[in-house]
Amino acid sequence: MSRLLEGRGELGTLMRMARLIERAQQHLRDHLPVELAEHLFVGGFHDGRLTVITDRAVWLTRLRYEQAQLLSRLHELPGFEAVSGFDFKVRPVRPPKAPVRQTRRLPARAADELSSCAADVDDPRLRRALERLASHAES
């Protein structure tokens, strides 16, 4: 497996690029104030420009002020000497919403009907299923 990831194929190239991007992201974060660093993400490298992503416009503005310093820090890394600039993007991170849980209620009368149906059924699996449903009745 490691030979596949390190090979000359597309997957190996992709893995090398991912490692380079990760190194660039960590290097840039190491040279930024902590409150700003946690909002910087490197999204890619294309045509000599590094895509820098942040989650809010306020952080993007701060990153623009730091652009010259970030570029000189990036040039310290082997493989990033040719980076000519940044493409800044804002991609808001929205926390996943938990689906609203719908609680169902089974009236006692309905449970009695299910239980009486279960008593009249010959199939043991169906009987157990009906009894399980009846057990969910309101007390």
The DSSP secondary structure of the chain, one letter per residue, reads -HHHHHSSSHHHHHHHHHHHHHHHHHHHHHTS-HHHHTT-EEEEEETTEEEEEESSHHHHHHHHHTHHHHHHHHTTSTT-TT--EEEEEE-PPPPPPPPPP----B-HHHHHHHHHHHHH---HHHHHHHHHHHTTB--
Walk along the chain (139 residues) and give the pLDDT tens digit of each residue. Answer: 445 445 567 888 888 888 989 999 999 999 999 999 999 999 888 888 999 999 999 999 999 998 999 999 999 988 888 889 999 999 987 777 888 888 878 898 998 999 999 999 999 999 999 999 988 877 6
pLDDT of residue 61: 93
Which class would CATH give 2-90?
alpha beta
φ, ψ dihedrals at 26, nearest 5°:
-65, -40
pLDDT of residue 1: 44
* Model pTM score: 0.59
Distance of alpha carbon 32 from alpha carbon 42, whole angstroms: 14
What residues does CATH 3.30.300.180 cover in the chain?
A: 2-90
